[in-house]
Amino acid sequence: MKQQLLILLASISLAGHSQVRQVLNMDFGWEFSRDSLFSQTEKVDVPHDFQIVQPWVAPAADERADNSDAAANTKSRLSARGFKEMGTGWYRKTLTADSAEWKDRRILLDFEGIMLVGDVWLNGQHIGRTDYGYLGFETDITRYLRYDRENVIVVKANTMTEKNSRWYTGGGLFRHVSLVTTAKDIFFNRHPLYITTRDNRYVNISADVTASRKATFEASVRIYQPDGQLVAEARTKPKRLASSWEFRLPELTIEKPLLWSCETPYLYKAVVSLLREDGSVADEVEETFGIRTVEIGPEYGLKLNGRKVLLKGYANHHTLGALGAAAYPRAIEKRIQLMKQFGINHIRTSHNPYSREFIQLCNQYGILVVDELYDKWTQQYAGGRSPWEQHWQQDVTEWVKRDRNAPSVIMWSLGNELQQIYDTRYHDWGVTAYQLQRTLLNRYDTTRLTTVAMHPRYRNRQTDSLPCDLARVTDVQSYNYRYMYFPGDGRRFPWMTFYQSEASTQAMGKNFFEMDLDKVIGLAYWGAIDYLGESMGWPAKGWAQGVFDISLQPKPKAYLMKSMFKPEEPTVHLAVLESANSEMWNGVKMANDRYTENWNRPAGTKADLYIFTNCDEVELLLNGKSLGRRQNPREAKLRNQIHWGETDYQSGRLEAVGYQGGKVVARHSLETTGKAVGLQAEADNGRWQADGYDLQHILIRAVDAQGRQVRTADDELTFQLEGPARIAGISNGDITSHALTADASHRLWQGSTTVILRAGREAGTVRLKIKSRNKTKTVTLKLE
């Protein structure tokens, strides 16, 4: 699966011999220079985030260290952007044009994203730009190529000022770069296929084609089911074409279709060919799709294939912890796999389009996506270089055409928390701008509803008892945090369908169980995974309120989420409350309480215990002695959370036993460990591929003589690597750490750290040597 994603670098891929369409990899061997124009360079490979290795910039003495109101003069200027300085990255690559293969062909450069805005030159000629780097673009370089000498590609990536985003964006060529060649006479345009299904059986495909001169052509389509078997095919009658044209292919019937769902994410493949009069293939593209139906309505929320499905999800920014913004497919896949283990079936791409490979992985893993285009419809928050009005038409078109065939995408979201901004262009509170975008969106896709996520404040300007104007025109009513408005707004406007587009992890449980789960679409927990940027106070380098730390280790509260999202799987999990937090943001309590699983505590102290469970009843035992049984609270705001309270600490074993119907169904224990005497290392990738992209996450734990993780261990570790790989990043999960992801040494935090290795492009043996003051561990890995 990973190999397929990495070879097919775009949604439209090479589907035939070299004379049809080529998609050539341009990711490797770039020269990079920071700020200056190649005065000092280093070799880098894409995906690349140049900001992640930059030093942290602590707030000045006269600055507030938190991510408070952006208008405040005392606000730390870099707290939102991860305490990294803004700047420019320059990339350069040489290209030798193949005169035999390319001279009579159309040649394109395809950039899947340049963060935050970007410009491209070829041989000194400016050939392309992006003003919103979360989306890709292509540029035709046919007439600029030189065949008598090398061609030089130069890319400038600019993160703009610290005010042009509210989070850490990263910077640079953070997604794939490709070179595409096609025939000149007849060819498919960018993202050419639009695939829809009817009655879960019939498939309709339209294609966007250009002919450079008058020509007669036919189109053929072949559909393959998930096992590769051809299940349908058709061919058009000859057509005469002399310009760009979008046409429909004959409707195809799939007998005994395999439906796409969260549990069975079956994917079909369509291969569409353009045939000249002489029968030769002029161009050929392929696209995967799923057969499924989506219904949304106020009585049931969301139905997938006629069955009620509740969105149980999270909303995070696009970055990937220690890797920054670099969009590694394996890092994305690891997150999806982890979140599925905890019951997640949904991700909201806040507040911008994620990579194309993210969408492909959601297709493959059965994740339901609310695909979001923007934060706010202003120049400041939509790139920052040019007015939003000058590029939204291109953005909407690229975004929708790129993702519209993905079965995982069930709803479009055009923006986030913007109804409080008065639109001086149209003299309203976002209604006209929304309607303009929605109209264009529906030109390219009519199969999904559209929404905008509403700010938790700023209800109607006349009265707080009514929703804002914008919420009354969107197809779906998406409220950030304010699920308590659903019942009242639903009574006043019975056509409304509600989705809690952001939910606070601090109020986890209550904000799920207090909704009418039979009628709502579901929710997405904001910042469920800690991330860089939006710090609540230095030395935290970012958001620390998630239920997974930035290295992807689950915090105790992650098991509360699992108990809610996987009710069919008995869960019981002990936690010690170390500190309670009450920080507010816009009237919402956002700061999460801090829990640990540490049972190495001072003698004579007490521990404030919580048990997260979906069992009927839990018994607590300390060193084998029962401390009693307690029922799982029935009240919605307390459900699945048993606050046991202050308990005298005794070294040894604390165990929670979960009962269902009087039978033991789950156990979890905390133990007092001995001192750390060794290191354990666990690699997560059993088939590590030598493709230049694939990652190996190695979790390193300090353990005692019995092999138990010692959560108090904070040894400093150093790393030495041998073989065809490199260290892509290191993270111990502590978002207050001053260590940089590229540093050769890191401390353990809560007894662990994670090293991420990036594969080279040659198979071989890789050895990672890990040293602490008195412990050494060597990990030997095979790169295939």
**For 608-627, how does the pLDDT look when each residue is reduced to its tens digit (9 = 90+)?**
999 999 999 999 999 999 99
Compute the Cα dihedral for 594, 599, 605, 610 and give only its sign. Answer: positive
pLDDT above 90 for 517 = yes
Q: What is the pLDDT of residues 472-511, one digit of tens each?
A: 999 999 999 999 999 999 999 999 999 999 999 999 999 9
Q: Which of 510, 519, 507, 557 is nearest to 342 (CA)?
A: 557
In the sheet that holds 21-25, the strands lie side by side as: 21-25, 177-183, 105-111, 137-140
φ and ψ of 398, to 5 deg: -60, -45
Q: What is the pLDDT of residues 17-64, one digit of tens each?
A: 346 999 999 999 999 999 888 888 999 999 999 999 999 999 988 887
Q: What is the pLDDT of residues 420-465, one digit of tens each?
A: 899 989 999 999 999 999 999 999 999 999 999 999 888 887 777 7
Residue 592's DSSP bridge partners are none
pLDDT at 388: 96
Amino acid at 379: Q
pLDDT at 17: 37
CA distances from 447 to 203, 286, 412, 442 (A): 13, 21, 10, 8
Q: How, if at all, do strands 105-111 and 752-759 pair? A: unpaired
Length of the chain: 784
Who's near 439: CB < 8 A, 6+ residues apart?
none
| Structure-token pair, residue 105 | 């062909």
Yes or no: say if 469 and 500 are a contact pair by the CB < 8 Å rule.
no
Amino acid at 131: D
Q: What is the pLDDT of residues 218-258, one digit of tens each?
A: 999 999 999 999 999 999 998 887 788 899 999 999 999 99
pLDDT above 60 for 777 = yes
Q: Which of 428, 359, 439, 367 is nearest to 396 (CA)?
A: 439
Amino acid at 223: I
Q: Which of 380, 311, 687, 329 is nearest to 523 (CA)?
A: 311
Nearest-10 Cα torsion for 300, 302, 307, 312: -110
φ and ψ of 317, to 5 deg: -75, 175
pLDDT above 90 for 87 = yes
Return d(Cα 653, Cα 625) in angstroms, integer: 10
Q: What is the pLDDT of residues 708-718, one digit of tens each?
A: 999 999 999 99
pLDDT above 50 for 740 = yes
* Mean pLDDT score of the chain: 94
Compute the average pLDDT of residues 506-531. Answer: 98
pLDDT at 358: 98
Containing 491, the helix (H) or strand (E) segment is: helix 486-492
Q: Which of 546, 539, 545, 599 is nearest to 574 (CA)?
A: 599
Return d(Cα 38, Cα 422) in angstroms, integer: 44
pLDDT at 37: 81
pLDDT at 68: 54
Return d(Cα 512, Cα 525) in angstroms, integer: 10
Compute the average pLDDT of residues 507-527. Answer: 98
Return d(Cα 769, Cα 718) in angstroms, integer: 8
Q: What is the pLDDT of residues 326-371, one digit of tens each?
A: 999 999 999 999 999 999 999 999 999 999 999 999 999 999 999 9
- Residues 420, 425, 426: CA angle, nearest 5 degrees: 75
Containing 222, the helix (H) or strand (E) segment is: strand 215-224
Q: Which of 436, 283, 294 is nearest to 371 (CA)?
A: 294
| Structure-token pair, residue 18 | 């070299």
Return d(Cα 292, Cα 360) in angstroms, integer: 16
pLDDT at 67: 57
Work out the widest C-alpha separation in the chain, in whole angstroms.
89
Residue 32's DSSP bridge partners are 42, 91
